[in-house]
Each structure stands twice: as C-alpha cells, then as structure tokens.
Structure 1
C-alpha cells in the first residue's frame, strides 16, 4: 500500500501542476493491472479534495479504432470527478490541461445500483439500470512527455488519460434510438475529424457497461445510482490547440459542444 500511495502522489502532483510526466522508473510501475487499479484508488483519494467527489467512470479502449491507436486490446477504466463534469456549451481554459484532447461518446447515468448477485453482469442485465443516455465529449489529457512510451499499467494508474467530460441533454431509454444505429460525428472548428457508431463500442455500449460492472465487482465495488459512465470513444482521439471549438453529434441522442479558450 505504501508503494501505491507513493506512485499516486507523483501522479497527483502531475495532475495538479500540469507538469508532463516522463516515463516512470521500473520500480515505480505497478506490478500488474490489479496493482495499477490499487494505485488508481489511492489517486482518487488524493484528487477528490481538489476536483470534487468521484461521480462515475470512463471506459477506454472499447472500440477497435482506439485499441489500435493506443496499442491496448482490452478496456481500461478511470474515474470522473464532480468538478470536471460540464454542461454542453461550456468554455474551458486550454491552459488548465497539459495537452487536451476530446473523444465522442455515449454516456449513461444509472437509476439504481448494479449490485453483484455472484453471476457475471451482461448487456441484458445492466440495461434496466440505465436512467438516461447522453451525447458526451470525453475530455482527455496527455499528461506525459511521450505517452507512447508509457507503460499501460502506469496509464491505468493515472485514470487512463481521464480529465472530465461535457454532457448534452439526457434521453430516457424509452425515447432513445437503437444504440447500434447511433452514428457519432466529431467536428473541430467546423471540420469533421471522425465518425463511428454505437456498434463500435464492444459491439454495443451495454457490453462496455457490463464490463465495468464486472471489473468493479471483482474489486468488491458497486456501480451506484446517479453515477455517470462514459462507455468509450466512437472515434480516434482529437488533440486540440488553444481556441479550438468542438461539436459532436450522436444521431437520435442529440449534440454537445465545448470550446477551449486560450
């Protein structure tokens, strides 16, 4: 636990001071993914006083385009904090990030806890827990001198690039389209830079939610009512410049916008 806290303190310093992190020395890299998530837990405790209580999770690497881009062939989770969840139309400071990027996502908010019964969660068993779907922009931050040289275990420990999100208006499940047919378009400064569909997210965003519920259950944790989950990007990450304006549309769910002022 002492090692986990020591690594978490380094990552928390980087997050709070926006200092690019060079590759961690071998002795500071978590032993395995389970160890990486223990460091992440310690990091959440250190960051909550600064960024607000944890209000949910992001899931990364749920689409082929992102798995190929990051070179990681399985989903990874990170935390979301109250102070980094914004409403559509937000204007954020570019300087508040090391190198900010955006991703196009389908988010969900839970109506009730997903308590483990001992059986694995499936797409079918998590669906009734969804209170609403949201068009979402995940905000990610490249907090590293060279992220391609970072060990994936270190990326997981550091919330897997998570830096918040921007949410559009919620859509009740009864009013939502078939998520497989939802097309997401990512537009930066009026130019479309990527598109994908709900089917790209592990075959269906509900599969991503089930993965997260099982991942947390294995740690003795539970997804709680009211928490948000970003189910994974439909497009490759777009890294931004100061002054960029971002607009994303998810057909049948609506649109969401944010700009990053200089």
Structure 2
C-alpha cells in the first residue's frame, strides 16, 4: 500500500467540527498570553529589554532561569505587539546536538515570528535595524491544516504540510561578539528572532516522492561583496536534521504552552550552513533544491 494511501479525508476535520477546531486554534495564543499575565510575576527588566529592542541597541545584562524565560518572552512580546503585527509562525532554535551541548540543554527552544518581522524579497536590508545581525540560510515549512497537531509519525505529519518558503533569517544576537551561551537568555529574548527575507510559497506534493524530497533538502549559498566571494553547500539531513522531525518538535514545544498549529503557520527550522555576520555591500544568496525543483532568494545589505 502507498505510504500515503491510508489517509482518508473523511476522518479529518470537516464542516462544523473543522470550524470549531480552527476557532479554538485561533484563540489559543491569546489565551496563553492572558494566562501568562495572570501566572507570571511582573518583571521590571522587561521594560528595559523592550526599549533596547525598539532602539536597535544592545540588550541590558540578563540572567534568567530557563523555567522563567517563557514568561519574560511573552511579556516582552506583548510590549512590542504594536510594531510586530500579528503572529504568523514560530522559530526552532538550539536544535542540533552540538548546539544543545553548547547551551547545556536537553532539547530545542521555540520563539515567535510576526508579520512585521518579514522583509519583502528584493528590498535592501538595513543592518542598522539589528544590533548584532547574523544572516542564516533558513527554511520555512508551511502548515497545511490543524491535523498536524494529532500526527504521530513523520509520514502522518507530512500529510498536513502544504509547502515551504525560502527564508534568509536576520537573527539578532543582542550582544557584541563573543556572546556567552545562555539558554535562559536566548529563550527570554525570543530565540534571537528579529527579521528575515521571506520568499514565495512553494507547494509540496502529497506523494512519497515529495516526502523523500523534503527529507533530502539541499542548499547552496553564495556570499559576495567587498571582500570577495564565499560559497557553502549543505544537506539538511547532515547539517541540521530532518525537516519534518523539527516541525514535530516545534509542535510539541508549542503544545506545552497551550498553542495549536493551524493552516498557514510557518515554522523556521534553523540555518543549514554556518551563520554569517553580514556587512554593508554584501549580497547573500541561497538556492534550495527539493527533489527536482529549485528556488532561490537573495538579500542585499546596506548600512
């Protein structure tokens, strides 16, 4: 039997049940925010962090336990809500085993992505808008429907993924290099999510070949500028991990916060090649290969 042959649309959400499920999913984030306000003690450091964020300045010193970081993050993002716009997705950080060892954590972290973080492709990226920018050859998975919240395997999860978007993340380390690894601080400051250049959505076929192609995702990057040209290549399975597994990890982390994934949500998987500190005058180009299809995105950096 085909890998995808057992999927029966009749068993997925339909009619009033679908409407109810999507309504609950849409309400989940606001419910979490209200719960955070009720359950999290006020932290006077949030105002200073929000002020530094808005001014594109170095963050004040921040030492915080990982268990308290989500409260801090939610309070910070609430302060920034007017300029961030609506929530559109999530970011997975500290995914690889090497990163977890560096940060001394047992699992990945998750941050929030908002509409106004996204820079249209073709628009120059001003580095003055980010205190300590890092350009990353990232990749966005686009959720197809809320059924992914019930998926038990990679194959089941793939049935609820509709596509992907090229994405050059412009992460913000918030402090001058070298930055001392601190998982609590990273989580509290939204896992370095700041902005990024997002490309058009590319559909993923619901076939075994499509499933295998996503697992074999490959990227090629070219950085060109005043100091010359540098090229990098990577296969996700070796440099980062399986994209569907990362999506499932994001889903599980969000579930602990009371958040359900829904159609159209984007999940940032992380960088596939080494992160690069961009300088004005450079162009960063990423070419993605998924099966027999390629797509490309570029970012030009200005002061």
Scaled by the length of structure 1, the TM-score of the pair is 0.85
Contact 2:170 2:195 in 1 (8 A): yes
Partner in structure 1 of residue 248 of structure 2: 210
SS of residue in 2 equivalent to 1:20 = coil
Kept after mapping to 2: 8 A contact 1:114/1:213: no
- State how far apart, in whole Å, the 2-side matches of 1:102 and 1:181 are: 23
Task: Return the match for 2:84 from 46, 51, 55.
Answer: 51
How far apart, in 2, do the equivalents of 1:122 and 1:86 lie? 34
Give the deviation of 1:205 after TM superposition.
0.4
Match for 1:179 among 214, 234, 246? 214
User: How do 1:71-220 and structure 2 match up within 5 A?
Assistant: 74-114=107-147, 116-117=149-150, 121-146=152-177, 148-149=179-180, 151-174=182-205, 178-189=213-224, 191-200=229-238, 203-220=241-258
Higher relative contact order (CA closer than 8 Å, sequence separation 6+): 1
Structure 2 Cα separation of the partners of residues 203 and 42 of structure 1: 31
Distance, in Å, in 2 between the alignment partners of 1:249 and 1:68 is: 30
Instruction: Note the residue ranges of structure 1 that are not aligned, 5 or more in a row.
Output: none
Q: Which residue in 2 is equivalent to 1:221? A: 259
Which segments of 5 or more consecutive residues in structure 2 lack a partner in the other structure? 1-38
Any conservation in 1 of the 2:102–2:181 contact (CA below 8 Å)?
A: no
Contact 1:37 1:157 in 2 (8 A): yes
1:15-66 CA deviation, whole Å, 9 max, x = no partner?
A: 1111212432x5xx1x33x421222122221212112122111112234565
* C-alpha contact (below 8 Å) 2:121/2:297 kept by paired residues: yes
Indicate the residue corresponding to 2:22 in structure 1. none
TM superposition outliers: structure 1 runs of 4+ over 4 Å: 1-5, 64-73, 114-117
Report the Cα distance in structure 2 between the residues aligned to 1:213 and 1:147, rounded to whole angstroms: 31
Query: 3-state SS of the aligned residue for 1:229?
Result: strand
Q: Give, in whole Å, the separation in 1 of the partners of 2:256 and 2:101.
A: 27
Distance 1:21 1:70 in 2: 19
Check conservation: 1:51, 1:81, Cα contact below 8 A: yes
What's the offset of the Cα at 1:249? 0.9
Secondary structure at 2:44 match in 1:
helix
Q: Secondary structure at the match of 2:54?
A: helix
**Offset from partner CA, 1:220-241 (integer Å, 9 cap, x none):** 1111222111112111210111
Distance 1:106 1:100 in 2: 18
How far the C-alpha of 1:106 sits from its partner, in A, is 2.0
Q: What is the alpha-carbon distance in structure 2 between the residues aligned to residue 257 and residue 232 of structure 1?
A: 17
Relative to 1, partners in 2 of residues 1:147 and 1:220: Cα closer, same or farther, differing over 3 Å? farther
Is the contact made by 2:48 and 2:60 (CA closer than 8 Å) also made in structure 1?
no
Aligned in 2, Cα 1:15/1:254: closer, same or farther, shift over 3 Å? same
RMSD over aligned Cα, in angstroms? 2.6
TM-superposed CA distance for 1:206, in Å, is 0.4
SS at match of 1:47: helix
Contact kept? 2:86, 2:114, Cα under 8 Å: yes
